[in-house]
């Protein structure tokens, strides 16, 4: 069994597949660079974004002078409001955990080309109906940079390639130097920007060699294993359709749990997203509860049944101990 489980990626194993998965998209350096390109191209006067989203969206809106307004979501991760959009107003939606294709389809049927789709948690989703969209390679694979842009008529020929990307954390985690690699990873994350640059040759080469079919198969199998063991304890309900490849297993117990217990077992997963808790906007109680209590458990292609069994056992044990303590 691989320990630790989860956390940031090590250097992705090289392969000989020869093609990127998103062959019709433009590979920029980051998801936020993709969003900046979309906003610059379509020139919205206002963009509605979900409150349950990281602050990385703020940089592209600031750089393009785009006004934004938050909207709330329900327990199905769907917008709680109906949108009456002006001529230059758009709605950004996140395909949460790669599991909300039903919400995406509904929004697309209502909003049409007024929808912008954030697929950073849904790497395997390609463009739908010509709407602007973007994916993140870094959230799914061990690469230094990479965000796929779907935007009609966008020409990247004049863009420069990013130089001097940080790769030390990828190599050192692969070498088992976890403490050093984590420090380097945090430094690398600070350098991710919305600059309109093409992805590095380093990451492009790796992305052409990934066995995407096997990565998708493993993620789906790992999700289904955890779901079979944890669904009874999970406040959230999800359906893994045949066309979905999940980002994580989103687990939220009915009663709040101490995530440090699993971290002490070397099961690592992020908080999505701490900045949600810190914002001072009124309302959005559900989003703050998600940020506090959601456990996005790791299911990625590095792991198999043995690691999933360990995660399920330790999470179930934590839930039962919490129930017993609360009477």
DSSP 204-245: HHHHTS--HHHHHHHHHHHHHHHHHHHGGGBSS-----TT--
- Check: CB of residue 133 under 8 Å from CB of residue 117: yes
pTM of the model: 0.94
Q: How far apart are the first and last CA of the chain?
A: 34
Q: Looking at domain 23-207, which of 3.40.50, 3.30.70, 1.10.101, 3.40.640 is its CATH number?
A: 3.40.640
**pLDDT by 10s per residue, the chain, length 327:** 888 899 888 888 876 666 789 999 999 999 999 999 999 999 999 999 999 999 988 999 999 999 999 999 999 999 998 999 999 999 999 999 999 999 999 999 999 999 999 999 999 999 888 899 999 999 999 999 999 999 987 777 778 988 888 888 888 888 888 888 888 888 878 888 889 999 999 999 999 999 999 999 999 999 999 999 999 999 999 989 999 999 999 999 988 899 999 999 999 999 999 999 999 999 999 999 999 999 999 999 999 999 999 999 999 999 988 766 665
Q: CATH for 212-318?
A: 3.90.1150.10
> How far is Cα 308 from Cα 94, in angstroms, rounded to an integer?
26
- Check: CB of residue 198 under 8 Å from CB of residue 156: yes
Neighbouring residues of 115: CB distance < 8 A, sequence distance ≥ 6: 90, 91, 93, 107, 108, 131
CB atoms within 10 A of CB 87: 7
Domain ranges of the chain: 23-207, 212-318
Angle between helices 305-326 and 212-230 (to 10 degrees): 30
- Check: CB of residue 274 under 8 Å from CB of residue 291: yes
Q: Is 296 helix (H, G, I), strand (E, B) or coil?
A: strand
Alpha carbons within 13 A on the beta-carbon side of 199: 28
Where are the alpha helices (H) located in 74-121, listed in sequence order? 101-111
DSSP designation for 95:
-
Where are the alpha helices (H) located in the chain, listed in sequence order? 31-42, 58-64, 101-111, 168-174, 178-190, 201-207, 212-230, 259-264, 274-278, 285-293, 305-326
């Amino acid at each position: 069994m691989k320990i630790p489980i989860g956390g940031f990626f090590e250097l992705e194993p090289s392969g000989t597949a020869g093609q990127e998965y998103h062959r019709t998209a433009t590979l920029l350096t980051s998801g936020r660079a993709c969003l900046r390109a979309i906003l610059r191209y379509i020139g919205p006067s206002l963009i509605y974004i979900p409150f349950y989203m990281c602050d990385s969206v703020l940089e592209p809106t600031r750089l393009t002078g785009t006004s934004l307004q938050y909207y709330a979501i329900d327990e199905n991760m769907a917008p709680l409001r109906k949108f009456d959009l002006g001529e230059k107003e758009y709605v950004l939606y996140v395909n949460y955990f790669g599991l909300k294709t039903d919400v995406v389809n509904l929004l697309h049927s209502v909003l049409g080309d007024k929808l912008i789709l954030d697929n950073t948690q849904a790497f395997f989703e390609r463009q739908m109906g010509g709407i602007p969209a973007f994916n993140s390679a870094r959230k799914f694979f061990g690469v230094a940079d990479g965000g796929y842009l779907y935007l009609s008529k966008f020409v990247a020929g004049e863009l420069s390639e990013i130089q001097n990307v940080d790769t030390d954390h990828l190599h050192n985690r692969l070498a088992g130097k976890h403490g050093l690699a984590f420090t380097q990873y945090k430094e690398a994350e600070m350098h991710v920007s919305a600059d309109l640059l093409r992805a590095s040759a380093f990451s492009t080469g790796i992305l052409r060699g990934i066995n995407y079919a096997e990565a998708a198969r493993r993620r789906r199998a790992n999700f289904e294993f955890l779901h079979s063991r944890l669904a009874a304890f999970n406040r959230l309900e999800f359906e893994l359709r045949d066309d979905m490849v999940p980002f994580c297993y989103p687990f939220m117990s009915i009663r709040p749990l101490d995530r440090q217990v699993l971290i002490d077992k070397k099961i690592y997963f992020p908080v999505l997203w701490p900045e949600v808790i810190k914002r001072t906007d009124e309302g959005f109680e559900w989003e703050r509860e998600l940020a506090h209590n959601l456990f996005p458990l790791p299911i990625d292609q590095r792991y198999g049944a043995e690691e999933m069994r360990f995660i399920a056992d330790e999470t179930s044990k934590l839930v039962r101990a919490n129930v017993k303590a609360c009477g």
